[in-house]
Amino acid sequence: MSRPDLLMTGPMMPLVQEGLAQRFTVHKLWEAADKEAMLNEVAPTVMAIATGNHSPTDAALMSRLPNLKIVGSFGVGYDAVDAAWAGQHGIVVTNTPDVLNEEVADTALGLLLSTVREFPQNDRYLRAGKWLQKPYPLTGTLRDRKVGILGLGRIGKAIARRLDAFGVPVVYHGRSEQKDVAYGYYPTLVGMARDVNVLLIVAPGGDATNKIVNAEVLAALGPDGVLINVGRGSVVDEQALIAALQAKTIKSAGLDVFEDEPRVPAELIAMDHIVLFPHVGSGSVHTRRAMAQLVVDNLVSFADGKGPLTPVPETPWPPKA
Ligand code: NDP
């Protein structure tokens, strides 16, 4: 059995590295002293890329690899891969959907509760010895909240199910109404923001969603409004969010994702009334292992001639004629 050449663009979990090494000759780009020289050397024969999205897999990179057939991307969001270009050039892109739905939904609920009930601040209060002086002040609640989900997809639905169990009403906005769900649909984001007091983002990044949560949407959310983002930082106009939080034209925010990760604006870090997570939505050992295995399974299945398991919509399999 031949061992096709695979380019790994950045460090990936041992499970990915070991799994792929059994089927491919793996070239680790980030370990090369001279990356350009390594790329030039392997470019003619590379058949697959494995990426953890540390760097873009864009047209500039893919067009250098004339035998590239597949890009296996770690994570369900693949905005770092130019999947449209890949699709136009007969290259299939895979991601890791579904195996992380429940984990990210758990995180979203944890972040929502942490923000509304101020749990991290409670913890800091106790550790600072302030409880000895007086009890922590009373907080807001989930009981009077209505959640508008931006992006009622695989993860959004897992979040909605949890909110159902919590007795919290849910509505949603996306590009189209889903006839098979019972939640109320809003054709415009600003219209939904006006009607809810929690806006929960779990939509993908990319050009179509870039900064769609802007100053107008935040103004519509209003002074009692809470913004939760477990989707992508690029979906929110971060400067408009900072301005709204500083002016208290929205109440609070819980953020797992940021525009320029891992750099988080000092203005956000300085605010004690918001909750910030370092992009840990899917970050349990269990779920990251499942994602890693799916990266390997996609690439190995393809190399074995059985096709990819989870191609993204821009690169359907088998390819359209
Ligand atoms: P899905 O594709 O299943 O769902 C995405 C949803 O977003 C769909 O309901 C879609 O609805 C909506 N959507 C897409 N484009 C737009 C748009 N331009 N405007 C409005 N709505 C839009 O994806 P998943 O649920 O699997 O994942 C969602 C995202 O969550 C990922 O892309 C990723 O960015 C993020 N994520 C974050 C993690 C973290 O660690 N914080 C972990 C995992 C994922 P419609 O088609 O009707 O518009």
- What are all long-range contacts of 191-194, with beta carbons under 8 Å and residues at least 24 apart? 191/220, 192/148, 192/150, 193/148, 193/217, 193/218, 193/220, 193/221, 193/225, 194/220, 194/221, 194/222
Q: Which domains does the chain have, with CATH numbers?
A: 5-98+286-303 (3.40.50.720), 101-276 (3.40.50.720)
State the pTM of this model.
0.97
Residue type, 66: P
| 3-class SS of residue 25 | strand
What's the gap in Å between 204 CA and the centre of ligand 1?
Answer: 4
Instruction: Please give the Cα distance from 178 to 249 (Å, whole number).
Output: 32
pLDDT (tens, 9 = 90+) of the chain, 321 residues, equals 789 999 999 999 999 999 999 999 999 999 999 999 999 999 999 999 999 988 899 999 999 999 999 999 999 999 999 999 999 999 999 999 999 999 999 999 999 999 999 999 999 999 999 999 999 999 999 999 999 999 999 999 999 999 999 999 999 999 999 999 999 999 999 999 999 999 999 999 999 999 999 999 999 999 999 999 999 999 999 999 999 999 999 999 999 999 999 999 999 999 999 999 999 999 999 999 999 999 999 999 999 999 999 999 999 999 887
289 lines ligand 1 (CB under 6 A): no
Q: What is the ipTM of this complex?
A: 0.99
- The residues that are catalytic are 232, 261, 279
In order, the DSSP letters of 238-289 are HHHHHHHHHTTSS-EEEES--TBTTB--HHHHH-TTSEE--S-TT-SHHHHH
What's the gap in Å between 213 CA and the centre of ligand 1?
Answer: 14
104 lines ligand 1 (CB under 6 A): yes
What was the pLDDT predicted at 283?
A: 98
pLDDT digits (tens, 9 = 90+) for 132-157: 999 999 999 999 999 999 999 999 99
110 lines ligand 1 (CB under 6 A): no
What's the gap in Å between 22 CA and the centre of ligand 1?
Answer: 33
312 lines ligand 1 (CB under 6 A): no
Closest CA to 71 of 81, 61, 79: 81
Q: State which of 93, 102, 104 you would mutate to test the pocket of ligand 1, scoring each by most atoms of that ligand within 8 A of its C-beta.
A: 104
What was the pLDDT predicted at 28?
A: 97
